[in-house]
Amino acid sequence: MINPRKVERLLNSPIQFDIDTALKRGWELFKAQPLILIAYFLIVAIVQFGATYFLEDFSSIVSILVAPPLTAGFYLVANKISRNERVEFQDCFDGFKFWLPVVSVNIISGIITVLGVIALIIPGIYLGVAYAFAMPFVLFAGTEFWTSMELSRKLITKVWWRFFAFVLLLVVINIIGLLFLGVGFLVSGPFSYMAVYAAFEELTGDLLIEDEPENSLPTSQF
């Protein structure tokens, strides 16, 4: 569990978000395991497009129940790469170990965002961007869905416009990837997840680093 004092300190302190740093770090994470990430992204794309084509009216079930843990897999792999841990292809599917919390946070944040769009559109855009770290908080802080959503919202709100520009830039990168006969999307897609994780690491700082246990007082010598 995250340290409440660290959370308070982070949210009450000015923070900086360097888009260039997040993109460069995201690219480094991608380059560390390009074959695994591309292969996994291809599987995710096949599952999602296959569900849309074959299941038709029931494709939303896949989006709600299967897509979130598949997305979580990218962040979990990014975390392992960042920690210099060995990564194997099956690690990509570890998101299913967190099935209930990631599905819950995805459903609730999605509903609130849609309600925001219905209300005045602008609140929906704000929340859609502000909840970008809700899933990473669930995965790496162990917080329940509402706390994760609020931590994400409060943190990103401090740099909302810069983060919004970051998201738009990733959208442009993926559009360019699609224009290259879709082949470039196999790189831009997983890279985008790595970049979002890199941004998450940059903005959370030492928040998720476990505190060292305090050493016990030395025994008195007589």
Give residue 221's pLDDT band: very low, low, confident or very high (50, 70, 90). very low
Q: Is 70 helix (H, G, I), strand (E, B) or coil?
A: helix
Give residue 60's pLDDT band: very low, low, confident or very high (50, 70, 90). confident
Q: Is residue 11 part of a domain?
A: no
Q: Is residue 221 part of a domain?
A: no
Q: Is residue 22 part of a domain?
A: yes
Q: Is residue 110 part of a domain?
A: yes
- pLDDT of 154-211, one tens digit each? 999 999 999 999 999 999 999 999 998 778 999 999 999 999 999 999 999 877 776 5
Q: Is residue 184 part of a domain?
A: yes
Q: Is 197 helix (H, G, I), strand (E, B) or coil?
A: helix
Residue 86 belongs to domain spanning: 16-202
Nearest to 202 by CA among 75, 2, 17: 17
Domain total in the chain: 1
Q: Is residue 1 part of a domain?
A: no
Q: Which of 150-174 are b and which e, b meaning 16 or more Cβ less than 10 Å from the residue's Cβ?
A: bbbbebbebbeeebbebbeebeebb
Q: Is residue 215 part of a domain?
A: no
Q: Is residue 222 part of a domain?
A: no
